């Protein structure tokens, strides 16, 4: 993690990275109509900025939700605490239209957790979940969403599911997250959230393939664990060079 500190300073005119004398200065976007404090992040020479990516901590993945991950809500307090010391915070949000192709209800004679072949490969069919605008798609009410700088919505194209925060499941359609991280100068990522063996896993694998340094905090993740999928995901992440902690 970068050795960083925040300081007040003259109001910057836009987001930018001023490079010079070994110091990167990340400036906040100015809103001329806003009468609120701002801060400037100073990074020392050679430091790397780290982002916390919080994956899909939404009502439908927590207790009582349509696709509840066991003990999913238990990680919220710890994630909020980690946000307090994070340099940049990104949230992802499953955001499906009605009738999404990943829903078992969209296929005749199919049940949740069946697997079918899609043009982009194998697809697990899920209970209807995280439908756009529904309470189930909302973030868990105790998650400190005001700390986030960006929310990345995924899975909103009817014909393609999207586990990863970086690519949809065709591994071609991008979410735009990589570009945001590059322009911010962020090189190191810590991933937390739901579920370890699906959206966290695929996000972590894509991130390291893209050249980011990746840590997954398992203590702040929970898994669905279909037929040993958690063990498989953890082994794959370790083999890929992802740091697992917690």
CA dist 152 to 15, 65, 167, 175, Å? 19, 21, 11, 7
CB 206 within 8 A of CB 198: no
Tell me which residues are annotated as active site: 56, 154, 199
Distance CA 96, CA 128 (A): 9
| Ordered DSSP codes for 198-211 | IIIHHHHHHHHHTT
Distance CA 12, CA 53 (A): 26
């Amino acid at each position: 993690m970068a050795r960083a500190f925040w300081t007040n300073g003259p109001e910057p005119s836009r987001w930018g990275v001023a490079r010079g004398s070994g110091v990167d200065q990340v400036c906040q976007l100015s809103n001329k109509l806003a009468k609120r404090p701002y801060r400037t992040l100073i990074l020392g020479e050679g430091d790397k900025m780290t982002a916390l990516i919080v994956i899909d901590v939404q009502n439908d993945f927590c207790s009582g939700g349509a696709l509840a991950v066991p003990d999913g809500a238990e990680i919220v307090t710890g994630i909020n605490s980690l946000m307090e010391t994070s340099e940049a915070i990104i949230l992802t949000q499953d955001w499906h239209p009605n009738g999404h192709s990943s829903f078992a209800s969209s296929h005749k004679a199919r049940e949740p957790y069946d697997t079918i072949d899609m043009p982009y490969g194998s697809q697990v069919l899920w209970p209807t979940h995280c439908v756009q605008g529904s309470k189930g798609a909302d973030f868990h009410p105790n998650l400190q969403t005001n700390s986030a700088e960006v929310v990345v919505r995924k899975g909103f194209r009817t014909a393609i599911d999207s586990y990863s925060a970086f690519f949809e499941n065709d591994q071609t359609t991008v979410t735009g997250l990589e570009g945001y991280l590059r322009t911010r100068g962020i090189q190191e990522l810590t991933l937390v959230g739901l579920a370890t063996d699906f959206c966290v896993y695929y996000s972590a694998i894509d991130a390291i393939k893209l050249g980011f340094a990746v840590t997954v905090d398992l203590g702040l993740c929970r898994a669905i664990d279909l037929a040993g999928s958690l063990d498989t995901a953890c082994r794959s992440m370790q083999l890929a060079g992802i740091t697992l902690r917690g």
